[in-house]
């Protein structure tokens, strides 16, 4: 048994030793970024314009040098009244464009799906709805790891508002987010 363990370690050692250094001029083929934004939205209900925080993670590129994936959560709880709140949780593909003349500008389009939660005013109802969130934006590089992000998102909630006694229809919350992202690798 001891011989087998020593033999396994000897065969594995070159694999582990080969991953110890990376040249400075090389970058990982896949990038993982995380960030936070401040969001201002039109809630699509009752004239509310809630404000809140957005957190997101971004894996790019996963396919064809331009296609990646993004997940985001948004909590819109400020600038509301009567207990109105809206939350979003989305995931989906992101397509990044390459601008040859502007290496610090990184535009993108996204097509996210997920769910939206809403607490209606005066505790009238609470709803959790399927939502589609197309959008786009631009990342501006500050350093090799830090970027400023400006983002617009138009959401489609096909089965909302779903309040008992009222007909269901489509809600279309939409808004902008401004924030920072940090490339982990």
CA distance 113 to 166: 25
CATH number of the domain within which 79 lies = 2.40.160.20
User: Has residue 86 got a pLDDT over 90?
Assistant: yes
Average pLDDT over residues 134-139: 96
Is 73 part of a structural domain of the chain?
yes
- Cβ distance 84 to 43 under 8 Å? yes
**Lookup result for tokens 């400020």:** 78
Closest by CA to 70, choosing from 115, 28, 118, 35, is 35
**pLDDT value for 125:** 80
Dump pLDDT digits (tens) for 95-131: 998 887 888 899 999 999 999 999 988 888 888 999 9
Q: What is the pTM of this model?
A: 0.78
How many domains, in total, are found in the chain?
1
Q: Residue 85 sits in which domain range?
A: 30-183
How far apart, in whole angstroms, are the C-alpha atoms of residue 72 and residue 87?
Answer: 11
| pLDDT value of residue 8 | 55
> Is 8 within a domain?
no
What confidence score (pLDDT) does residue 100 get?
Answer: 73
* Position 161 in a domain: yes
Evaluate if residue 178 carries a pLDDT over 60: yes
Q: Is residue 83 part of a domain?
A: yes
Q: Is residue 139 in a domain? A: yes
Euclidean distance between CA atoms 64 and 81, whole angstroms: 46
């Amino acid at each position: 048994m001891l011989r087998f363990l020593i033999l396994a370690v000897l065969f594995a050692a070159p694999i582990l030793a080969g991953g110890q250094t990376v040249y400075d001029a090389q970058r990982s083929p896949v990038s993982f970024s995380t960030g936070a934004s401040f969001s201002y939205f039109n809630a699509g209900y009752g004239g509310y314009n809630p404000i809140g925080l957005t957190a997101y993670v971004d894996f790019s590129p996963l396919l064809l040098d331009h296609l990646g994936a993004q997940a985001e959560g948004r909590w819109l709880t400020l600038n509301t009244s009567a207990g109105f709140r809206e939350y979003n949780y989305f995931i989906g593909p992101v397509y990044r464009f390459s601008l040859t003349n502007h290496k610090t500008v990184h535009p993108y389009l996204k097509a996210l799906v997920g769910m939206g939660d809403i607490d209606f005013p005066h505790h009238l109802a609470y709803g959790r709805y399927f939502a589609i969130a197309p959008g786009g934006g631009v990342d501006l590089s500050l350093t090799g790891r830090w970027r400023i992000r400006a983002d617009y998102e138009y959401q489609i909630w096909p089965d909302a508002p779903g309040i008992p006694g009222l007909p269901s229809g489509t809600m279309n919350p939409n808004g902008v987010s401004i924030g920072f992202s940090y490339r982990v690798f």
